Amino acid sequence: MKPSKITILFFIMSSLTVGLAQKPVYLDSNQPIEKRVQDALSRMTLEEKVDMLHAQSKFSSKGVPRLGIPEVWTDDGPHGIREEVFWDKWIGAGWTNDSCTAFPALTSLAASFNPEMALLYGISIGEEARYRNKSVLLGPGVNIYRTPLNGRNFEYMGEDPYLSSRMVVPYIQGVQQNGVAACVKHFALNNQEDNRTSIDVQVSERALYEIYLPAFKAAVQEGKAWSIMGSYNLFRGQHCCTNDLLLNKILKQDWNFNGVVISDWGGTHNTEQAVLNGLDLEMGTSTDGLTTDGTAPYSEYYMANPYLKNLKSGKYDVKTLDDKVSRILRLIFRTTMSADRPFGKFVSPEHSEAARKIAEQGIVLLKNEKQTLPIPVGKYKKIAVIGENATKSLVIGGGSSSLKVAYEVKPLEGLIAKYGKDVISFSSGYASGQSEYVKETKSRLNKDSLLHAAVEVAKNADVVIYIGGLNKNYLQDSEGGDRKSMALPYGQDQLIQAIQTVNKNIVVVLLSGNAVEMPWLGQVPALVQGWYLGSEAGNALANILSGEVNPSGKLPFSFPKKLEDNAAISFGAISYPGLNGKEEYKEDILVGYRWFDTKKIAPQFAFGHGLSYTTFEYGKATTDKKSYATNDTVKLTLTLKNTGVLKGAETVQIYISALKPSVMRPIKELKAFSKTELDASASRQIEINLGVKDWAFYNEKTQSWEVEAGKYNILVGASSADIRQKVNVEITK
Ligand code: GLC
C-alpha cells in the first residue's frame, strides 16, 4: 500500500527536526575519531587552523572556542606532574592544590627490569596528569645513555635500546589509558646537555637504527604514543624539531605515526622548516631571539602569522596545514573530548605504594661482603647515617622534571622510622652549598669541620650508612649542562675514606642518575645504587637496607672504572662534547657494554649487574630446536632456583652473539629478559621466547634490517658480564 502524501510529509519533517537536533559529528563521541576530525576540520577557518599550531601560553595551545573545541594543556614531566606556572612565566603560580606524588626517576624504573612496574608507573602518573586536567604529559624520555656525564641521564632508561624499548611501551599505555597523551622525548639523538640547542650530531645509519631509534619506534608502533617531542639538537644539519628525515620520512611515513609532533620549548627556528619538515605544534619559542618571557608575542611564532601570511599568498598549501590540524584534533578527541576517559586520582595512597614499589624494585645491590647487608632492625644499637643526600630534597632541581611534591620521605626520615630515633645518629659530612642543613646551622661550616664531625659520629657507631652520590644541582644531574668529571663532588671521596678508617662496617648508598668513579670501593664492604627515588625514597631505602624487601634491581647502564673507558669519551672532543658545533658518534653501535665487550675493558660494574640477599642457581638452558628459520621464534627454557633462605627476584637476561657475522657486530646484544620472584628454596621453569627477526642488524647497503644465516650463541646471564649458560643454534635462510 503506497504511503499517503501526509505520511511522507510527516516523515520528512520528523527526520528534518531530528537532523537539526542531532549533534554535529565532531561533538558526538560515539562517532569514529577520524570522522570527528574531518567534520571539525571542515568547520574551521584558516585563522582558527593556524591558531592551533602554536603556544598561547607557557604550556598550552589554542582550541577553537567558537566550536567548543578545548585548548591543549601540556605539563612536565616524566617523574610527576609539575606545578602550575604563570600563564607566560616559568615561575610557579603558587597554587595550593598542585603538590604531586614524585615517582622514582626513570633510571630506577629501568633498573627494575620489570615491564609490570612500567605499566603501574604509567597508570599512576597518568591518573595524576588526568586529575590535573592535562591533555599531554611531557614524558617519558628515552634518550640512550651515551656518556656518564649527560646531565639528563637520570630522566632516561639507560644504555640498551632493547631494555628502553620494553620499558617505555607499558609506561605509555598506562598514561594513555587515562585519556592523557604521552609525549615521548627527545626525538632524537639528544644524548647530552652541553650545547644542546646547537650541537649538530653525525651518526651512522646503523647506530641510528640499531641504538638511538628503537625505543622511539617501540613507543610509536607498540606504545601507540599520541605525541612525540622533537629535540633541541641538530641531526645532519637540521634541527630535530623541524627535521625532514626524522619527522616526515622515518616517523610519519615509515612508522605510520598519526600523533602530534611537539617541539621542545624553543626548539623551532624557521617557518619554512617548521611547515614543511613535519612539526605540528610549536611551543616555547621566543621569536625576538631573547630568552625573556612575555616579549615574544605568540602571534609572531614561526607557525603563527608568518605561516598564515604565506598560506594566504599561496606559498604553502592548505593540505599540509590540514594534516597538522588533523593530528591536533585527533589528540583532542583522544583526550579532552573523549567521553569515556576516567577522572584520574591525585596523591592517592595507591600512588605512594606504586612509587615505593617501583623504587624498591629499582634499587641495585652492587656489592655485599661480610654479610654487611641487610641490617635487620634490632641488630645494632647505634647506626650512624652520614651524607647530605640523607636529608637533601632530591625531587626538586634538575630542570623541567623538578617537582613541587605533597611529601618527600627523605632517607634519614625513612631510616629513623624504621630503626627508631634513639638508634640513628646523623652527620651531614659534606655540603653542596644549597642544603638546608648548612643554612640551619648558620655556623661557618667548611669541608674539614663537616668531615671531622662526621668521622666522630662514625667512630662511635656499630655501623655506618653513608648516603651520598650526586644531586640535581646544575652541572650535576641536571638539564642544561653536563658534569665535567665522573668523580663524586663535594669532597665525598675523602669523606668516605676518612670514615672507613674509623669504622670498617660501612654501607655506601649512592643516590644519582649517573655512574661515578669509586676510589674507595676496595675499602667498602657494601655498596647500593639508589636512584632519585621520589616521594617514597626514605621508605624504599629503609625497606631494602633492613632486608624487609630483598633488592632485585639490575644496572640499566655500565659503570666505567674511569671516564676514559667510556666509548664516546675515548674518541676525544669531536665525539664528545663536539668540536665547533659538530659531533660525530665515532663509537657507532658500540655503546655501553657493547664497547666494553669488544674492547675487552672491564667495567667497574656491568650493565645488568645486581645482587640479592639470596642466591640463584641457573639450571641447564635448552631450546626447542637446534636450527631456526629467520621468521621463527626460539623457545628457550631453564629452571631457576632460589638457593638461599630469603624470598627474592632475579632477572634472567638473554643475549645473542653471532659467531661469524659478515659485518662488525657487538659480542653480545640483549634480546630478552625475564624477572621472576621465588620463595626460598623454590624453583620454577622459565620459558623465554626470542623472535629471530629481532636478531637482525641494520644493513646500510640495502637500507633495511637483515637477519643473517649462521651460527649464534644464545647467552643466558645474570648480567652482561656474568654469563651462566650458552646455547648454540643455527639460523637458516
Ligand atoms: C625543556 C625540556 C623538555 C621539557 C620542556 C618543557 O627545555 O627539554 O624536556 O618538557 O622544555 O619544560
Residue 690 in contact with residue 633, Cβ under 8 Å? yes
Which residue among 74, 86, 138 has the greatest number of ligand 1 atoms within 8 angstroms of its CB, and so is best to mutate? 138
**Domain-located, residue 76:** no
Q: Which residues of 329-341 are buried (b: 16+ CB within 10 A; e: fewer)?
A: bbbbbbbbbeeeb
Residue 623 in contact with residue 651, Cβ under 8 Å? no
Range of the domain at 663: 616-732
Residues 370 and 515 placed together within one structural domain of the fold: yes
pLDDT, residue 13, reads 66
Q: Is residue 131 classed as helix, strand or coil in its secondary structure? A: helix
pLDDT, residue 473, reads 96
What distance in Å separates the CA atoms of residue 678 and residue 552, rounded to the nearest whole number? 11
Which CATH number is 499's domain given? 3.40.50.1700
- Beta carbons within 8 Å of 309's beta carbon, 6+ residues apart: none
Residues 697 and 576 placed together within one structural domain of the fold: no
Report residue 526 as a C-alpha cell. Answer: 657494601
- Average pLDDT score over the chain: 95
pLDDT, residue 292, reads 46
Residues 622 and 562 placed together within one structural domain of the fold: no
Closest CA to 545 of 675, 380, 674, 396: 380
55 Cα to the center of ligand 1, angstroms: 14
pLDDT, residue 12, reads 67
Residue 458 in contact with residue 464, Cβ under 8 Å? yes
pLDDT, residue 436, reads 44
Report residue 260 as a C-alpha cell. Answer: 602530534
What distance in Å separates the CA atoms of residue 497 and residue 538, rounded to the nearest whole number? 25
pLDDT at 5 over 90: no
- Going by alpha carbons, the residue nearest to atom 5 of ligand 1 is 265
pLDDT at 445 over 80: no
Closest CA to 417 of 580, 241, 542: 542
The arithmetic mean of pLDDT across residues 92-118, rounded, is 98
What distance in Å separates the CA atoms of residue 471 and residue 322, rounded to the nearest whole number? 45
Atom of ligand 1 at shortest range from CA of 190: 8
- Going by alpha carbons, the residue nearest to atom 9 of ligand 1 is 400
| pLDDT tens-digit series, residues 550-563 | 999 999 999 999 99
pLDDT, residue 291, reads 45
517 Cα to the center of ligand 1, angstroms: 29
Residues 591 and 628 placed together within one structural domain of the fold: no
Closest CA to 327 of 247, 240, 215: 247
pLDDT at 49 over 50: yes
- Beta carbons within 8 Å of 333's beta carbon, 6+ residues apart: 26, 29, 33, 36, 37
CA 151 to mean position of chain CA atoms: 13
Residues 378 and 526 placed together within one structural domain of the fold: yes
265 Cα to the center of ligand 1, angstroms: 6
The arithmetic mean of pLDDT across residues 506-519, rounded, is 98
Q: What are phi and psi of 542, to 5 degrees?
A: -65, -40
Which of 303, 334, 365 terminates a domain? The answer is 334
pLDDT, residue 7, reads 72
Report residue 728 as a C-alpha cell. Answer: 648454540
152 Cα to the center of ligand 1, angstroms: 11
What distance in Å separates the CA atoms of residue 64 and residue 606, rounded to the nearest whole number? 53
Which residue shows C-alpha cell 632516561? 156
Q: Beta strands of 568-664 (E only): which ranges?
A: 582-584, 616-618, 622-623, 627-629, 633-642, 648-658
User: Which residues form ligand 1's pocket by a CB distance below 6 Å?
Assistant: 76-77, 138, 185, 264-265, 400
**Domain-located, residue 247:** yes
What distance in Å separates the CA atoms of residue 370 and residue 349, rounded to the nearest whole number? 37
pLDDT, residue 435, reads 46
98 Cα to the center of ligand 1, angstroms: 19
Which residue among 228, 232, 265 has the greatest number of ligand 1 atoms within 8 angstroms of its CB, and so is best to mutate? 265
Residues 544 and 405 placed together within one structural domain of the fold: yes
- Going by alpha carbons, the residue nearest to atom 4 of ligand 1 is 400
List active site positions: 264
Residues 390 and 291 placed together within one structural domain of the fold: no
Whole-prediction pTM: 0.95
Closest CA to 298 of 87, 482, 149, 105: 87
Atom of ligand 1 at shortest range from CA of 265: 11
- Beta carbons within 8 Å of 438's beta carbon, 6+ residues apart: 428, 431, 445
Residues 210 and 152 placed together within one structural domain of the fold: yes
Which residue shows C-alpha cell 675499602? 523
| pLDDT tens-digit series, residues 167-180 | 999 999 999 999 99
- Going by alpha carbons, the residue nearest to atom 12 of ligand 1 is 400
Atom of ligand 1 at shortest range from CA of 400: 12
Residues 567 and 669 placed together within one structural domain of the fold: no
What distance in Å separates the CA atoms of residue 397 and residue 387, rounded to the nearest whole number? 19
Classify burial at 241, counting beta carbons within 10 Å of its beta carbon; exposed 0-12, middle 13-18, buried 19 or more: buried
DSSP string, 469-495: E--SSTTSS-TT---S-SS-STTHHHH
**Band of residue 88 on the pLDDT scale cut at 50, 70, 90:** confident
- Beta carbons within 8 Å of 63's beta carbon, 6+ residues apart: 52, 69, 70, 71, 72, 332
Which CATH number is 626's domain given? 2.60.40.10
pLDDT, residue 246, reads 98
400 Cα to the center of ligand 1, angstroms: 5
Residue 599 in contact with residue 605, Cβ under 8 Å? no
Can the peptide bond before residue 342 be classed as cis, meaning omega within 30 degrees of 0?
no
The arithmetic mean of pLDDT across residues 273-292, rounded, is 82
**Domain-located, residue 1:** no
Atom of ligand 1 at shortest range from CA of 139: 10
**Domain-located, residue 16:** no
The arithmetic mean of pLDDT across residues 304-326, rounded, is 98
**Band of residue 289 on the pLDDT scale cut at 50, 70, 90:** very low
Which of 280, 304, 334 terminates a domain? The answer is 334
Q: Which residue has the higher pLDDT, 100 or 89?
A: 100
pLDDT at 209 over 60: yes
**Domain-located, residue 343:** no
| pLDDT tens-digit series, residues 329-370 | 999 999 999 998 999 999 999 999 999 999 999 999 999 999
pLDDT, residue 711, reads 98
336 Cα to the center of ligand 1, angstroms: 22
Residue 267 in contact with residue 187, Cβ under 8 Å? no
Q: Give the per-residue SS3 of 45-89.
A: CHHHHHHCCEECCCCEECCEHHHCECCEEEECCCCCCCCCECCCC
pLDDT, residue 287, reads 62
What distance in Å separates the CA atoms of residue 651 and residue 550, rounded to the nearest whole number? 13
Atom of ligand 1 at shortest range from CA of 141: 9
| pLDDT tens-digit series, residues 642-697 | 999 999 999 999 999 999 999 999 999 999 999 999 999 999 999 999 999 999 99
**Domain-located, residue 359:** yes
Atom of ligand 1 at shortest range from CA of 183: 10
pLDDT at 448 over 70: yes
Q: What are phi and psi of 192, to 5 degrees?
A: -155, 165
Which residue shows C-alpha cell 591525585? 346
Quick one: which H or E segment has residue 386? strand 383-386
Residues 568 and 635 placed together within one structural domain of the fold: no
pLDDT at 701 over 60: yes
Report residue 36 as a C-alpha cell. Answer: 570527528
| pLDDT tens-digit series, residues 660-670 | 999 999 999 99
CA distances from 524 to 300, 458, 507, 561, 610 (A): 59, 14, 7, 16, 17
Closest CA to 648 of 595, 619, 684, 699: 684
Residue 164 in contact with residue 212, Cβ under 8 Å? no
Closest CA to 125 of 403, 333, 480: 403
Which residue among 75, 76, 85, 227 has the greatest number of ligand 1 atoms within 8 angstroms of its CB, and so is best to mutate? 76
Atom of ligand 1 at shortest range from CA of 186: 9
Closest CA to 282 of 273, 291, 292, 293: 273
Which CATH number is 200's domain given? 3.20.20.300
91 Cα to the center of ligand 1, angstroms: 14
Q: Based on the structure, what is the number of domains in the chain?
A: 3
Closest CA to 144 of 128, 155, 132, 129: 155
- Going by alpha carbons, the residue nearest to atom 7 of ligand 1 is 265
197 Cα to the center of ligand 1, angstroms: 12
Choose the weakest-confidence range: 128-137, 445-454, 507-516, 624-633. 445-454
Percent residues over pLDDT 70 in the chain:
95
pLDDT, residue 1, reads 57
**Domain-located, residue 21:** no
- Beta carbons within 8 Å of 667's beta carbon, 6+ residues apart: 594, 597, 598, 657
Residues 300 and 423 placed together within one structural domain of the fold: no
Residues 593 and 726 placed together within one structural domain of the fold: no
| pLDDT tens-digit series, residues 140-168 | 999 999 999 999 999 999 999 999 999 99
**Domain-located, residue 644:** yes
Q: Is residue 687 classed as helix, strand or coil in its secondary structure? A: strand
pLDDT, residue 89, reads 85
